[in-house]
Structures are given as C-alpha cells and as structure tokens.
Chain A
Amino acid sequence: MDIATITLCEAADGLRKKAFSSVELTRALLAAIEKKDGGLDAYLSVDAEGALRQAAAADAARAGGADGELLGVPVAVKDLINVEGQPCTCASKILEGYTSAYDATVSAKLRAAGAIFAGRTNLDEFAMGSSTEGSAFKVTRNPHDPTRVPGGSSGGSAAAVAGGEAIAALGTDTGGSIRQPASFCGCVGLKPSYGRVSRYGVTAYASSLDQVGTLTKTVEDAAVLLRTLAGCDPHDGTTLPAPVPDYRAELTDGLKGLRIGLPREYYIDGTDPEVMAGVRRAVDGCAKAGAEVVEVSLPHTEYAIAVYYIVATAEASANLARFDGVRYGHRTAKPESVFDLYAKSRAEGFGTEVKRRIILGTYVLSSGYYDAYYGRAQKVRTLIRRDYEEAFKACDVLMTPVAPTAAYRIGETCDDPLKMYLGDIFTVPANLAGLCGVSVPCGKTAAGLPIGLQVLGPSLGEAAILRAARAVEDLREGNGL
C-alpha cells in the first residue's frame, strides 16, 4: 500500500481482500499527515485517537461479515461540515473551541457506511474566498509548489488529497469552492447539482447556491462517494426527490455519441494561454475518441460575477446573523448591553473578508437598494439559467477551463478583493443555474502546475459529466495530456 497515491477504490479493494486492515490503513494515513502537514498545513485538526477507534470498529464489523466500499476508509472533512464530537471552526475565530453537537446528514451517511473521520481541513473563513488565505488559523500551501495557494475555499481538502494526506475529502462549493482548488491542486473536484446532496448540518454561506461535494484522486472515487452522499433528506427541504443512480456503473460508457458544447464566452482572451492550450488538447482528444463537439453560446456570462456577489453576500449577511455571541461561539468580554454584545462579539470574531461580505450583503438588501441590486440580480439570474437550458438542447455536457489561471502565488490577490472575485468567472454560473460540474486534471503548465478542465451538466446530469471526466482521465493516462 502506498498511502500517498492510494485511491478510495483501491483502499476498499485492499480492505476487502484483507491486504491490510482499516487500523493499518488509518495508521499509515495518520503517519503521512504527521510527516507532511507541517509543510502543507492542510488540516486544522486531526482526531488520531477517534480515527483509530473508528478503524478498529470497522475492522470488527468486517470480521463480522459487514462490507461496503467505504467501510474502514478514512475521509477528510472540510471544517464547516459538522461531525458530532469534533471541532467545527469554519476557519473562524468566532467558532474557535466549538464542538459539533450533531452529525450533518452527509457525515451521518458516511458514518453509516463505515467511513472514518480522520481530520478537519482548512478553508477560507466561512468558505468566503478562493485561495484559503482567508483562514483565521493558517495558510495552506499547494503541494505542487509551496509558494503558491491551493485555491479555495476547499483548499485544505484539495491540498490534503493531492498531497497524499487524505484518500478522499468532502468540500462545499458555492461559487467554485470545490472545482477551483481541485484544478489548482490537480485532483478531481465534484460539485453536484443544487439539491442533489443535503446541506443539513453544513454551515450556510449562501443558501440558494451552496452544495456539498467531493475532492478525490479519481473520477471513479467521486462516483462512489456521490452515491453514498446523494439523495433526498427530510432535514433539507431543497433536496431533490430523485432516485440516486449507480454512478460508477455508468462511468465506462465512453465518449461515443456524447455531444460536448464549447461555450463561446468561456473561450476568450484573458485566460492564461497555457491553461487554454491544456483545455483545448483535452477537448481535441475527446473529439478524436468519438465525441461530437459543438459551439454554443451563453450570452449573459459577463453578468454572472455581478449577480453572484450580490446574491451570495446578501444571503451571507442573513446566514451569518446567527453568530451573535449568545448561544455558541465567541462572546466579547465586557458588553455594555445586548446590542453591544452582538456588535463587539462579531467584530472580534469575524475576519476581514467575512466583514466585507456582510457589509456588502447588508447594503444590497437595505431599504431603497433592494430592488436595484438583490431583486434585479435574481432576475438576471433567470437569464443566466435560461442560457444554460438553451445550450443543453444542443449538447449533453459543456467543457470549459475551471479558472483563468493555474495556482497563483500566496499574497498575490490579498489587497484586491474584486480581482479575486473575477477569478471565479467560469465556476460561478453553475451555482447560479443549479447545474452540476466536475473539475478534472487535464495536464500541467511548463512550470509543473496542474491545469483543470471543467465539465458542466444540467441539473441531475452527474452521470454524464462523470462519464466525460473519466474519459479525460483515460486520455491523460493514454497520451500524457
């Protein structure tokens, strides 16, 4: 077993064949974290004792005849998804010392499947950011170049998977927070359709956009995890009552007959030429392998970032109102009144980017501005959604870059929030339209930095995007894309 490269499916296979036990697998993983995380800073906390206890229980269950793809496999969890008894800081000082009182639905599903919760990964505070530099606790580094960011906000999960410190990880994606770090770190990042996976027990950022997904070493691993995570949840009224297919079984159907759309507005100047060349090579490879490639248009793409930063900050300002120092989280030392307690606890607990978004969100919702900003943004959101509905009449999936650049240097965008926001241009529209998307590695730059290809599908189109992403993986292995 090579713990640095082992996939979830390989781990499951090894456990089934008794090549190693879950305790051995978990020990090896904990040793890898111990050895490497001083350099990567992917984890905010590691529960070695708890993980080994769960591993022993998984081994005992297997000895008693239990089986399952996740039984005894350690999974890392982004530190804003609740796992009972573990910390959940959201990388914010306001939740320092908080212990989860219950399992998120995704955690409960993983627990029921026998997965092991080894540790909590770093993120931009409350998932607000694209570089993980916004964490209140530490800066995670890109495993391919420690002077560069891992992307974000699920940067800890992506760095842990790509850096050999996690077999697979959970993340969340509100505007690209799974797909972009997967692209920067060279792993597979799946954002399911809005409503495919429950968000119960996941700290809300922007409720009309948030979705839980996975960061894995392979597309097959993403397919296996999604089957466990997906489905309707009585605790989350936005989950879709649609059956959950066996995504893994449909992976190997290949590209024959698949129609790939290239949105004109995504293939524009301004994207790094090396990134664009990598994406083009992957698309050409798919065409040679039997896919049909068509050009499509998404005319309202240029408005997506504006709509996103109105809708997301408005919803964030409402969601983060719960952090008031009353029932949990940081409370200021000597409040003069209850209102003073709210305002000072929040001032002391939140970091700069979170404050900036709360202020922007409060402003766009405030009396006299609501119609011009939030109300109008929701109507433009309809136009963006319609663009995709129209495009998916001509194709089954879309292929685009994930981000305009490969991983940038730590510190590069810190002083200019708008510059960082504009980097989300290719990922944000999928959240606005409720689509599913996956980021799959499609090559490297001359400097050795991973390039990600984004495959987008319509709502509940996960089987098609995973099948296409798997084909890109095969091309990469076949001819060194």
Chain B
Amino acid sequence: MSQTIDVAYVAELARLDLSAEEKVAFQRQLETIVRYVEKIGELDIAGIEPTLHGQALCNVFREDVVVPSAERERFLANAPDRNGFEFKLPKIVEDA
C-alpha cells in the first residue's frame, strides 16, 4: 500500500489551501502516520463485518409531525455576509 502521498492533490479534494511549508511538513508527517496505520494490513479480515458505529441501532424513525424550528434571525445573525434574509456569496456563474 505504501507510497508517496500527493498532499497538494488531497488538499484540493479537501478544499483547503496549504502553504508551501505545510505541504512539506504534512508530506513527511502523513507518510510516517500512514506507514504506522498500515499495520492493520497484517490481519486476516475475510468474512468480518464492518463496525460502522458504537451501537448497532439502525433505521431510527420519528413521527412525521411538523414542529416549529428556531427563528431564522438567530441563525442569520452569524452569517459572514447577508442580504436581508439570504446568505450572500460571490458570483458562481461567469458572465456570458
């Protein structure tokens, strides 16, 4: 499994800008960590079911009843930029 980690590519997937220094440091540290975690490759896991959660609950349903949600203004109060009751963002679509 072990190989060089393309930190710049992974950072792009994570939508996270990294500085040149961070890329160098993470490259070295992540390869050390990944080499360590690869010890799970030693085990025979044929036929073993995965554990997805700390408990085996599944399909938890509630009654389909309308309940009031918290007032909109309280959530908008934390917005970095807004236009009335909308979140404001830079333009996504280029001008034609």
Contact = CB atoms under 8 A, between A and B. Distances in A.
Interface of A: 98-99, 101-102, 193-195, 208-209, 211, 234, 237-238, 240, 300, 302-303, 305-307, 309-310, 317, 321, 324-331, 335-339, 341-344, 346-347, 350, 352, 355-356, 358-360, 362-363, 366, 369, 372-373, 375-383, 385, 417-418, 421, 431-434, 459
A358 B41 contact: no
B80 interface: yes
A375 B41 contact: no
Contact of B51 (A303, A339, A362, A382): A382
A378 B80 contact: no
Given A240-B55, A418-B32, 8 more contacts: A194-B53, A329-B80, A336-B90, A359-B26, A372-B1, A373-B37, A378-B52, A433-B54
B16 to A, nearest CB: 5
A98 B78 contact: yes
Given A101-B78, A238-B57, A376-B40, A335 B90 contact: yes
Contacts of B16: 343, 346-347, 350, 355, 358-359
A356 B37 contact: no
Contact of A383 (B7, B15, B43): B43
B70 A101 contact: yes
A99 B77 contact: yes
A195 B54 contact: yes
B55 A382 contact: no
B15 A356 contact: no
Given A325-B80, A342-B15, A356-B26, A379 B45 contact: yes
Contacts of A337: 90, 92
Residue of A195, A376, A434 ringed by the most chain B CB atoms within 10 A: A376
Nearest to B63: A234
18 contacts: A101-B74, A238-B57, A240-B57, A309-B37, A325-B80, A347-B18, A355-B22, A355-B26, A356-B30, A358-B14, A359-B11, A363-B5, A366-B13, A372-B41, A379-B49, A417-B29, A434-B55, A459-B55
B89 A341 contact: yes
A362 B57 CA distance: 26
Contact of B17 (A193, A343, A379, A433): A343
B24 interface: no
Given A338-B92, A355-B26, A356-B29, A380 B15 contact: no
A346 B14 CA distance: 10
B15 to A, nearest CB: 4
A324 B52 CA distance: 26
A309 B90 CA distance: 36
Nearest to B70: A102
B51 A378 contact: yes
A303 B41 CA distance: 10
A203 to B, nearest CB: 14
A467 to B, nearest CB: 22
A314 to B, nearest CB: 11
Q: Which 9 A-B pairs have the closest CB atoms?
A: A194-B54, A434-B54, A378-B50, A331-B80, A347-B17, A328-B78, A237-B60, A306-B37, A101-B74
A321 B81 CA distance: 19
B89 A338 contact: yes
A362 B87 CA distance: 28
Contacts of B19: 347
Residue of B1, B75, B78 ringed by the most chain A CB atoms within 10 A: B78
Contact of A421 (B33, B38, B39): B33
A375 B77 CA distance: 40
B87 A327 contact: yes
Contacts of A208: 52-54
Contact of A431 (B13, B18, B54): B54
Contact of A102 (B38, B52, B60, B74): B74
A380 B50 CA distance: 8
Contacts of B70: 101-102
A101 B37 contact: no
A254 B68 CA distance: 48
Nearest to A380: B40
Nearest to A352: B22
Contact of B15 (A193, A238, A343): A343
Contacts of B18: 347, 355, 359
Contact of A194 (B22, B55, B62): B55
B63 to A, nearest CB: 9
